[in-house]
Amino acid sequence: MNKITIIWHIGWHKTGTTTIQQFLHQNRRALMERHGLLYPEAGLINAGHHLLADAVSKRDLYGPRDRRSDLDYLEREWGRLADEIGRTPRPALVLLSSEGFRYAEPGRVAQLLRRYGVDAIHQVILYVRLPDLMLESLFAQEIKTGSWNGSFADFAESRMTRGEVGYQQVVECWQHFGDTPVERIVVRPFERGQWKDQDLVADFLHAIGLEDTAELVRHRQVDEANRRPDVAMLSLVAALNRAIGGKRPLRGQGAVESLLEVAADRRARCPVAAEPARFLARADREHLRSCFDPVFEPLGLHFVGRHHYPDGGGGELLDIGALPSESRLDLLMFGMECGLLSLDRLCAALEDTRAELDQLSARARAEKARLAEKKQQIKQLKREVAKPKRARFWRRVAQWWTGAGAR
């Protein structure tokens, strides 16, 4: 197998990875035919190569792996990847994308590639987000899904100890694949003002060397389930979660959409704390960023060509744990409104599904009738073909009977 170039998009979480992955997956054919870029099907979960990442991760990304067979299954995904690369006619680039690659061991990746005969040159791309903005985004996500209802300060402390913004360590880890140095590492800031045409997908394509991509299909870039609510809306969501008394009272994309829609409506009708621009006061934001100066200044100077941070905005810290000025009954009514709207959405989706099933049934009946007609035609053809055969057979029988066959 000829040496190829593999581009590893290693995330980070909350830096538009889902948007990029969906775009790449939806444009797989066009990317291959027009730009020679293969975005493989092997190892995909949804639109990212998370199975491949799980096989080489330092930790279990999708639950504990108690059985060796689980790891064997994941490693076979790398065999499927090698087969797909081999079947693809002359790919110039192979692009793999998963947030889970940030936990990967490049040496282990190199072993699997050698095992399955993939000889490659490696390039790496990742987007980094300033620590305060990253933690705010993660915090909003946890509140929205009901996984966290405490203060932002406690949340930030817990996440910082888990290395959520350990960019420097990951960059250093990915500089070599075993004994093979990485050809190029691209670190891009997750800041709209720094992107090409202020567009994340356009910036990503430009960063990996693809130009003239205007013909590629641009679907909606932001998944509704990943839409970030404003601070006042999140305070209502957190209060609802506490009032119900359990985690994740609403689950699924339709339920989240309903929650945000009802919360936005109720925010306009009920008094809540004044909405700040951010979760952090300016002084707290500057202190948090200063803690990460040793990491971000080298990255900024080396990869982005700057040594300053953008202004994160003002605003005072909102105590998300403080109950808005609504009664418990009002909050429970809020939850009921969300549930009813979710039910309405589900019923509408079921009606759409039913209509699609009716169409499929009609097509199946038409196809069945067409096949029955074809079957009759085949039977008729068989009879027509059999007639001369039967005539020849009986002619030979008659010749034998009259003695002509003896000669």
Whether residue 148 lies inside any domain: the answer is yes
User: For residues 407 and 396, what is the distance between their CA atoms, to the nearest angstrom?
Assistant: 13
Whether residue 34 lies inside any domain: the answer is yes
Q: Are residues 260 and 186 in the same domain?
A: no
Q: What is the pLDDT of residue 81?
A: 94
| 291 vs 186: which has the higher pLDDT | 186
The rounded mean pLDDT for the chain is: 75
Closest CA to 94 of 106, 78, 107, 105: 78
3 state SS of 60: coil
- pLDDT over threshold 50, residue 295: yes
- Full-model pTM: 0.69
Q: Are residues 178 and 278 in the same domain?
A: no
C-beta separation of 279 from 318 below 8 A: yes
Q: Total structural domains in the chain?
A: 2
Q: How confident is the model at residue 55 (pLDDT cuts 50, 70, 90)?
A: confident
Q: Are residues 91 and 206 in the same domain?
A: yes
Whether residue 96 lies inside any domain: the answer is yes
Out of 28-42, 213-227, 242-256, least confident range: 242-256
C-beta separation of 42 from 86 below 8 A: no
Q: What is the pLDDT of residue 323?
A: 41
Q: Are residues 74 and 175 in the same domain?
A: yes
- pLDDT over threshold 70, residue 187: yes
| CATH code, domain with 63 | 3.40.50
Q: Are residues 266 and 118 in the same domain?
A: no
Whether residue 404 lies inside any domain: the answer is no
Distances (CA, A) of 86 to 65, 301, 382: 30, 39, 44
Element (H, E) at 108: helix 106-115
3 state SS of 322: coil
User: Domain containing 289: what range?
Assistant: 131-164+230-368
- pLDDT over threshold 50, residue 317: no
Q: What is the pLDDT of residue 277?
A: 39
Q: Are residues 235 and 212 in the same domain?
A: no
Whether residue 171 lies inside any domain: the answer is yes
User: For residues 139 and 234, what is the distance between their CA atoms, to the nearest angstrom?
Assistant: 10
Q: For residue 43, give both structure tokens.
A: 């190892």
Q: Are residues 213 and 139 in the same domain?
A: no
What pLDDT digit, counting tens, does each position of 82-94 carry? 999 999 887 789 9
Q: Are residues 148 and 278 in the same domain?
A: yes
Q: Are residues 51 and 115 in the same domain?
A: yes
C-beta separation of 181 from 202 below 8 A: no
